[in-house]
Chains A and B, each alone.
Chain A
């Protein structure tokens, strides 16, 4: 059996973490392909719905990347994001979605190396945790039991 490859959805702020991912690319710092990146204008624009939908569709992890406190281009979108993440974590935990699957990290535009470390680290931790209880494909339920969660 091949090793479990976690699927991570990344919501990255255009001004920092997304740029860091770009920098990592141009600097040839390779990081796992497990992450699918969605570019946002600010971490403060990540609606809890996006995160819920990602998990319901079987993501093993969600990573939100934003500017460091004080550096948000919209002044405080990242601090609002932090409150929302805390709130949503409480709801997800109630239904068995471990908080180790839902990360918020500050990664500045220049921090390509840190971007790589965070994605590596998250991928490794998710491998340890195993598939999300909602990743019905990885859990081998595709044939009869799998339905779109809805």
Chain B
């Protein structure tokens, strides 16, 4: 049974409406704290942890920007829990990564009321700052994006968002719905008993189901899936070999920003910054001797393939890797392509369910017989 609360707002007052909603939740003790995107005093919008509801005037959840995948932030707050009830407003890519971090015991949702929001895409950070300076509001973005146009002032949302087939978040207690909800209204949908209780405690009545929503969501997902298939096919065609991969990452400087930005690169210390890769001088000389030359820094392809083998099973396609690269290397299709194959092999999907075990943490006696082709 769907469980929707309609939140109507006057033009220009969406953020105010949402601020009132969360203010109410905090004042009624539904939660003690809120993690949500807020307008920053200097510029930009960032996830902000709020414990005093009087500051909620700066709230701006639908701002089309994700400076850091929020799964990382949620992990810092909950890995060693505070015991304080916290509502977190996050997008699908953040929530799917968070599900994987929970499985790795790097995050914990016991005290969290998870509120997922519909997402129509994010701009690159600097593009967003520029559009804001030119006066673009979140409401204006939503309106245009819902009509199918995300291009604005020569900027468009990230490539990852254009091929994301999860505009609507799952595995949440509450869902902030904007797709197919009609003009000047968003809906809050409850999906769990925790969500029901929160709505009830906040004094929100459920009723009306947004009529056009299901069809609108289906249509958008279909469009995104097609775009994803096309993008990955094009990637594979252009990068079928290690030689082509070398070409693709030719400007890589081994800064490792891509893995710092990646929400599911889970190692506490990356092996590529340990002594294993701090070689002796004569080692480098030896390699140089073999071929006559040696590109420095070394081990670039080795790094990218190793990263794939570590985290492609959990890649959620958020595109933060691409956004983080100082040399404009489009890493997202590289990792999504690998992810599609590795996750597909185990019929796994990153972030789909808390109950599915991560493929390399379990095994069966009788499985994958085709790997060795041997039966006793």
Query: A interface vs B, CB < 8 Å?
Result: 48-49, 52-53, 56, 68-70, 76, 79-80, 82-91, 93-97, 103-106, 133-134, 142, 146-150
Contact = CB atoms under 8 A, between A and B. Distances in A.
A96 B290 contact: no
Given A52-B302, A95-B240, A105-B372, A76 B246 contact: no
A6 B246 CA distance: 24
22 contacts: A49-B302, A52-B309, A56-B242, A70-B365, A79-B363, A79-B364, A79-B365, A83-B359, A83-B363, A86-B368, A87-B342, A90-B338, A94-B337, A95-B239, A106-B374, A133-B241, A134-B242, A146-B291, A147-B293, A149-B246, A149-B301, A150-B299
A52 B312 CA distance: 15
Given A52-B302, A105-B374, A95 B341 contact: no
Where chain B touches its partner, the secondary structure class is helix
Interface string B236-261: 10011111111000000000000000
B360 A87 contact: yes
B294 interface: yes
A94 B360 contact: no
Given A90-B341, A91-B342, A94-B341, A80 B376 contact: no
Contact of A96 (B242, B294, B337, B364): B242
Contacts, number: 111
Contacts of A147: 291, 293-295
Contacts of B291: 142, 146-148
Given A68-B376, A150-B301, A76 B295 contact: no
A62 to B, nearest CB: 13
Contact of B313 (A70, A87, A106): A87
Q: For chain B, which range describes its interface: under 10, 10 to 19, 20 to 34, or 35 or more residues?
A: 35 or more
A84 B360 contact: yes
Given A82-B367, A84-B360, A94-B236, 8 more contacts: A68-B376, A87-B360, A90-B344, A94-B341, A95-B242, A96-B240, A105-B374, A142-B291
A109 B287 CA distance: 36
Contacts of A146: 291
A91 B239 CA distance: 13
A148 B301 contact: no
B302 A56 contact: yes
Interface in B330-376: 337-338, 341-342, 344-346, 359-360, 363-365, 367-368, 371-372, 374, 376
Given A91-B341, A147-B291, A148-B295, A82 B374 contact: no
A104 B372 contact: yes
